[in-house]
Structure 1
Amino acid sequence: YVALIDDLESIEDDVSLDDADMEILHTLTIHGPLAQSMLVRHTGLANPLTSLKRLMKLRLVAVKESLGQTYSPKRAIRYRLTKDLLESPEAFDKALAQLNRAPKQEEAFLKLSSGQNNESFQRADQEAWSDASHKAALNALVKRGWVEKYWVDLNRLEESYIARQSTTFELSSEQASALASIQSLWQTNSTKAVLLQGVTGSGKTMLYIELIKDCLRQGRQALFMLPEIALTTQMIQRIRQYFDCPIGVYHSRFSPAYRVELYQKVLRGEISIILGARSSVFLPYKNLGLVIVDEEHEASYKQQDPTPRYHGRDVALVLAKQHKASIILGSATPSLESLNNVVSGKWEKVEIKNRFNQLVIPTPQLIDLVDAKKRHRVKGRFSQVLIEAIQGCLDRNEQVILYQNRRGYATLARCNTCESTAKCHQCDVSLTYHKYSGNLRCHYCGSTARLTSRCASCSSQQWELYGSGTQRIEEEIESLFPQARVLRMDRDTAASRKRYEVMLKGIEEYKYDILIGTQLIGKGLDFQRVTLVGVLDADEMLHFPTFRNNERCYN
């Protein structure tokens, strides 16, 4: 906010001020300290920043910062019978008798009388009275003086507290052996970090659940970290099958008010299990006993922008050390740092070498597109082998995932005249063409430009598009398989948490045949009908401008 340093009378005569300066000073004198937005409203100045800088330089005003309380609890109106009617049966019968010609009011009156002391009625049934007829009946009873309104605070985390019958399961012999090894290590040193290396489908999640149960028996909290926000939706559904205690989900897609309530409940120790992305390491745990870092090799644990810059896996190790908690890091392809920690003796390693129920690990098939093009075995971006495999899955009513780690339509726009590339004027990286908006977009800062813009080098407007993103893949798949139900899942289509949850539910309910997506679908999701996964332009990952590109391509 902006505040005066001295009174107007103390301003020296030789100080030169214009009309805008004087208007700001008079406004602050009358109203006192004001936020900049309120200062604009009171003065009518479109842009007071120039005047404020001048006044600050003259030491006439100062800009100060203060923390304000923006959180407000979620509230709702509830109805109840007045105290007079509850204490006097005669008054109650008299009021009821007068409602014989108003059936809606009578129905509401009787429901309120029967559920007056029923908490579930107050929460669920009154929420169902959202239509106009019920509201009109309740408001009419309020006017008669027989019903009163009151406010209640609602719990934004209500879904976390739903009681469920916990499910039991039986570990395989290899899972049981791995679990016994981990428990034995922690009996010797409970703070020793354990790297759990298990092949995909080996059942690492089941081990996590058993370890969480051990943690809860000790009366302590458990943190389950996932690399992507997208994974929390499916994982929370699995976790809730085995626990009937409160489970909190924390990541940046939730509203600030939701996160405030979760923060407060974690601080008070009311939530036993927290499932979250990398930012969940900063919650104020009261009695943390176990930290689980799933898919610890993922680059998504590292936050680059906005600040603070940190690596979620490394912060989790420090967090576990501060709370003297156990920590386990799981992966099918551990990072090189983690393997080095095992070799140096800092961590212990436990392996699961086989899939659950001895399922066979699929053998990847590499397609040489250069050779396939020479043999005319390519249609568009797809080899004939992949096209035939997709058609076979569709004939068997199975689902297909096509992974392309580039969103947009084309990854490069090049000028036909001088062959220069369209680049972001802020980040100096190539712009990606998005067909549905018709814009070139920077995936780093979000700036956009029209494809019809003039080339910065030669002023030409003739552009040619190169590369393929998820939009182009979707377009070609729809032309190759017109009868297939295609879903594209990337940050453009799954921008909100609810939209993403709807997409996942649609895949699980077999509303789609072919799923095209970026890394949102490439990390830990489990779909029962998916029998084919195609990774398009797999060698592109080897050319990313990072020293970890070989490791990430392997992972």
Structure 2
Amino acid sequence: MENSLGVGHRVIVPFGRRKSYTGIVSALTPLEPIGYEVKEIAMRIDDRPIVRHPQLKFWNWVADYYLCTPGEVYKAAVPAGLKIESETFISPVPGFEEDENYRLSTRELALLEGLLATGEKRVSLDSLARKTGITTVGPVVNSLLARNAVMVSENLVERYHARKETYVRLSAARGDSDALHAAFDAVKKGSKQESALLALIELSGFMRQGLAELNEVTRTALMERSGATSTVIAAMAKKGIVEVYTRKVSRFSYFGVSGGGLPKLTDIQGAALDKVHKSWLEKDITLLHGVTSSGKTELYIHLIDYVMRHGRQALYLVPEIALTTQLTSRLQMVFGDKVLIYHSRFSDNERVEIWNRLLDDPSPCVVIGARSSVFLPFGSLGLVIVDEEHESAYKQQDPAPRYNARDAAVVLASMHGAKTLLGSATPSVETYWKAVNGRYGLVELLERYEGGQLPEMRLVDMTLARKKGEVKGIFSDELREEVSGALGRGMQSILFLNRRGYAPVARCKMCGFVPKCDHCDVSLTYHRRIDKLLCHYCGSPYAVPDVCPACKEPGIEVLGYGTERIEEEVDSCFPGVAIARLDLDTTRNKDSYENIIDDFSR
């Protein structure tokens, strides 16, 4: 085992008498530990390490700087699909009879009855907890174990499953007309097989000239084109007409148009690009202070191209998942399938595939993603771009590690010998101070693209407007007029509000009682769609009380406005107008952002 192990390998390690967990080998030593007993590693999982040396060095820095354990960093960094853990299963003991001298408790009876009610030979602990409603099943299971009422077993569970696709190809070699005629003779009595054979020839390009190899066709595509079933294709394979086989395929398919070329820069942008390169001759970190719509993204694309042409990788960090949607298509127009996207909206399997691609394919690429992207296994990182570096969304609040991805990305870049570019129209105070005092390079882009003007801003004093009767609901008369004018000109409007849900506060109008979360002690937000009060910290749902728990009066009312209520208000103010709401509640899967933004752009 020692000779086959290396730093970064995944291993299964025993923990306690029954549990097993995934571990990462962080170091090897020829010295045997003294003073305590060492357990043997149960098994090595992979043929090659899944973590690189710079990653481990970076993880240790994160753990040390942000005061957490390396295990907490590992848990946050590695996709769940790569964490093999043991899962506990409970089985009833056949013929168990309750002892007359010691009756089972109510919880023990409920757990045992729930286990028997499933009708299954064994049930996982998590599943049993959901079925019985007992949240802490561990102590109850232990007491039933002592009574020999149940048995416990452990199974190793791997969450990642590679995506597989079944392909079909002709057995006949290209140019073998005799074999092709024989194939048609074999299916002439079966119209469905003949239709499938014709569709396969068309889809695979078998009769086209100039193809070096016969193209394979997915079984799904062949079935859709010909109307054949899998049974029909299996019968053709049995006759030797086609070959049917299965192999792993990527979950990511790029269908865009690449090769659009680099965006053309204006003279001002070109000068700024030269200044960035000159700044990097003296400083590894540069602040690009560019006003809104000055064309910072075009500069980023040119810098990414420069790094990739030198055979290295680039990391493009954005603070919000929604921004990856807008930027991905722009980058794919230039870099095609060399653009990788990584964020928490992807499934575990999808994140594992990105992880494995970076491990197995050292070719130049650009990764665009949110803060968790800093933990990916980069092999040759040459550039780190932190867009909107001032954003608080780069800070992980809970759970540990509670890190700032902007600062972590700067350290990551230094460990790889890469350059860092921090971009912002409103830099954070500490970044701007470092730039003007010479610790960072500073490049300014203070004109909008093609001389565009900054928008006019007007502040409305809502307190004064309410006194004058110029507010209806949440909107001032001035806002209503501006939106109506824009709609009348066939234009669009965007309303921003940093409150999700229907109303941020529920309160008793009789005694002033405000329902709070039992776990977090913060006021609950009302969501009308699900008719629940939600805690925006831990996500716990609560029913809306019919009467006040404090004064027992039916006086619970909701106060304030969230995005859900704004949507309702806009619909009543401007009937018949298309409305799209973009918040956490409407973007639960990775495609939601793209769909909403695309609908709006059209």
Q: State the TM-score bracket (shorter-chain normalisation).
A: 0.7 to 0.9
Question: Displacement, 1:121?
Answer: 4.2
Question: Displacement, 1:343?
Answer: 3.8
Of residues 506, 510, 513 in structure 1, which corresponds to 2:599?
Answer: 506
Of residues 404, 408, 412 in structure 2, which corresponds to 1:311?
Answer: 404
Residue 298 of structure 1 pairs with residue 400 of structure 2: no
Of residues 517, 525, 528 in structure 2, which corresponds to 1:435?
Answer: 528
For structure 1, which runs of at least 5 residues remain unmatched after alignment? 6-15, 25-33, 58-62, 510-555
Q: How big is each residue's C-alpha offset from its partner over 1:92-112, in whole Å with a ceiling of 9 and x where there is no partner?
A: 423312433544422322444
Give the direction of change, closer, same or farther, for the CA distance of 1:346–1:3 in structure 2 (3 Å limit): same
Are the counterparts in 2 of residues 223 and 290 from structure 1 also a CA contact under 8 Å? yes
Q: Secondary structure at the match of 1:291?
A: strand
State the match for 1:158 in structure 2.
253
Q: Which amino acid aligns with 2:236?
A: L
Question: Displacement, 1:464?
Answer: 2.2
Q: Secondary structure at the match of 2:507?
A: strand
- Measure the CA separation in 1 of the matches of 2:501 and 2:166: 46
The alignment of Structure 1 onto Structure 2 pairs a total of residues equal to 481
Q: How big is each residue's C-alpha offset from its partner over 1:190-235, in whole Å with a ceiling of 9 and x where there is no partner?
A: xx21111111000000111111111112111011000011111110
Q: Which amino acid aligns with 1:188?
A: E
- Measure the CA separation in 2 of the matches of 1:147 and 1:396: 61
Q: Which amino acid aligns with 1:73?
A: A
Give the direction of change, closer, same or farther, for the CA distance of 1:128–1:476 in structure 2 (3 Å limit): farther
State the match for 2:489 in structure 1.
396
Of residues 213, 226, 233 in structure 1, which corresponds to 2:305?
Answer: 213
- Measure the CA separation in 1 of the matches of 2:560 and 2:310: 54
- Measure the CA separation in 2 of the matches of 1:476 and 1:48: 46
Question: Displacement, 1:437?
Answer: 1.7
State the match for 2:279 in structure 1.
185
Question: Displacement, 1:65?
Answer: 9.4
Of residues 448, 461, 464 in structure 2, which corresponds to 1:368?
Answer: 461
Are the counterparts in 2 of residues 195 and 350 from structure 1 also a CA contact under 8 Å? yes
Give the direction of change, closer, same or farther, for the CA distance of 1:319–1:263 in structure 2 (3 Å limit): same
Give the direction of change, closer, same or farther, for the CA distance of 1:159–1:382 in structure 2 (3 Å limit): same
Are the counterparts in 1 of residues 505 and 525 from structure 2 also a CA contact under 8 Å? yes
Are the counterparts in 1 of residues 222 and 228 from structure 2 also a CA contact under 8 Å? no
State the match for 1:107 in structure 2.
195
- Measure the CA separation in 2 of the matches of 1:374 and 1:120: 78
Spell out the pairing of 1:192-203 with structure 2 (5 A cutoff). Answer: 192-203=284-295
Q: Which amino acid aligns with 1:94?
A: A
State the match for 1:231 in structure 2.
323
Q: Which amino acid aligns with 1:281?
A: V
Q: Which amino acid aligns with 1:149?
A: V
Residue 171 of structure 1 pairs with residue 265 of structure 2: yes
Give the direction of change, closer, same or farther, for the CA distance of 1:220–1:65 in structure 2 (3 Å limit): farther
- Measure the CA separation in 1 of the matches of 2:137 and 2:586: 40
Give the direction of change, closer, same or farther, for the CA distance of 1:469–1:348 in structure 2 (3 Å limit): same
CA-atom RMSD in angstroms: 3.6
Q: How big is each residue's C-alpha offset from its partner over 1:498-543, in whole Å with a ceiling of 9 and x where there is no partner?
A: 222211111111xxxxxxxxxxxxxxxxxxxxxxxxxxxxxxxxxx
Are the counterparts in 2 of residues 416 and 462 from structure 1 also a CA contact under 8 Å? yes
Of residues 240, 249, 255 in structure 1, which corresponds to 2:332?
Answer: 240
Residue 75 of structure 1 pairs with residue 164 of structure 2: yes
Q: Secondary structure at the match of 1:195?
A: strand
How much identity, in percent, do the aligned residues show?
Answer: 39
- Measure the CA separation in 2 of the matches of 1:39 and 1:238: 44
- Measure the CA separation in 1 of the matches of 2:524 and 2:18: 47
Q: Secondary structure at the match of 1:455?
A: coil
Question: Displacement, 1:354?
Answer: 0.9
Q: Which amino acid aligns with 1:155?
A: S
State the match for 1:257 in structure 2.
349
Question: Displacement, 1:64?
Answer: 11
Are the counterparts in 2 of residues 221 and 271 from structure 1 also a CA contact under 8 Å? yes
- Measure the CA separation in 2 of the matches of 1:436 and 1:71: 34
Give the direction of change, closer, same or farther, for the CA distance of 1:311–1:54 in structure 2 (3 Å limit): same
State the match for 1:539 in structure 2.
none
Give the direction of change, closer, same or farther, for the CA distance of 1:356–1:111 in structure 2 (3 Å limit): same
Q: How big is each residue's C-alpha offset from its partner over 1:425-445, in whole Å with a ceiling of 9 and x where there is no partner?
A: 211111111112221111111
State the match for 1:484 in structure 2.
577
Q: Secondary structure at the match of 2:545?
A: coil
State the match for 1:409 in structure 2.
502
State the match for 1:553 in structure 2.
none
Q: Which amino acid aligns with 1:146?
A: I
Of residues 336, 347, 350 in structure 1, which corresponds to 2:429?
Answer: 336
- Measure the CA separation in 2 of the matches of 1:98 and 1:56: 64
Q: Which amino acid aligns with 2:242?
A: V
Are the counterparts in 2 of residues 197 and 334 from structure 1 also a CA contact under 8 Å? yes
Q: Secondary structure at the match of 2:302?
A: helix
Give the direction of change, closer, same or farther, for the CA distance of 1:66–1:251 in structure 2 (3 Å limit): farther
Q: Secondary structure at the match of 2:401?
A: coil
Are the counterparts in 2 of residues 186 and 326 from structure 1 also a CA contact under 8 Å? yes
Q: Which amino acid aligns with 2:457?
A: P
TM-score, with length taken from structure 2: 0.72
Are the counterparts in 2 of residues 410 and 433 from structure 1 also a CA contact under 8 Å? yes
Q: Which amino acid aligns with 1:214?
A: Y
TM-score, with length taken from structure 1: 0.78
- Measure the CA separation in 2 of the matches of 1:119 and 1:229: 41
Q: Secondary structure at the match of 2:187?
A: coil
State the match for 1:357 in structure 2.
450
For structure 2, which runs of at least 5 residues remain unmatched after alignment? 1-14, 20-100, 113-121, 147-151
State the match for 1:93 in structure 2.
181
Q: Secondary structure at the match of 2:315?
A: strand
Q: Which amino acid aligns with 2:533?
A: L
- Measure the CA separation in 1 of the matches of 2:176 and 2:462: 86
Spell out the pairing of 1:248-287 with structure 2 (5 A cutoff). Answer: 248-268=340-360, 269-270=362-363, 272-287=365-380
Are the counterparts in 2 of residues 281 and 315 from structure 1 also a CA contact under 8 Å? yes
Q: Secondary structure at the match of 1:314?
A: helix
- Measure the CA separation in 1 of the matches of 2:225 and 2:16: 47
Q: How big is each residue's C-alpha offset from its partner over 1:116-137, in whole Å with a ceiling of 9 and x where there is no partner?
A: 6887942568535347822254
Are the counterparts in 2 of residues 163 and 245 from structure 1 also a CA contact under 8 Å? no
Q: Which amino acid aligns with 1:252?
A: S
Q: Secondary structure at the match of 2:335?
A: coil
Q: How big is each residue's C-alpha offset from its partner over 1:156-200, in whole Å with a ceiling of 9 and x where there is no partner?
A: 23328x6622234321222112111111111334xx211111110
Give the direction of change, closer, same or farther, for the CA distance of 1:70–1:480 in structure 2 (3 Å limit): closer
Most deviating of 409-418 and 237-246: 237-246
- Measure the CA separation in 2 of the matches of 1:363 and 1:67: 61
Q: Secondary structure at the match of 2:594?
A: helix
Residue 50 of structure 1 pairs with residue 50 of structure 2: no
Give the direction of change, closer, same or farther, for the CA distance of 1:172–1:463 in structure 2 (3 Å limit): same
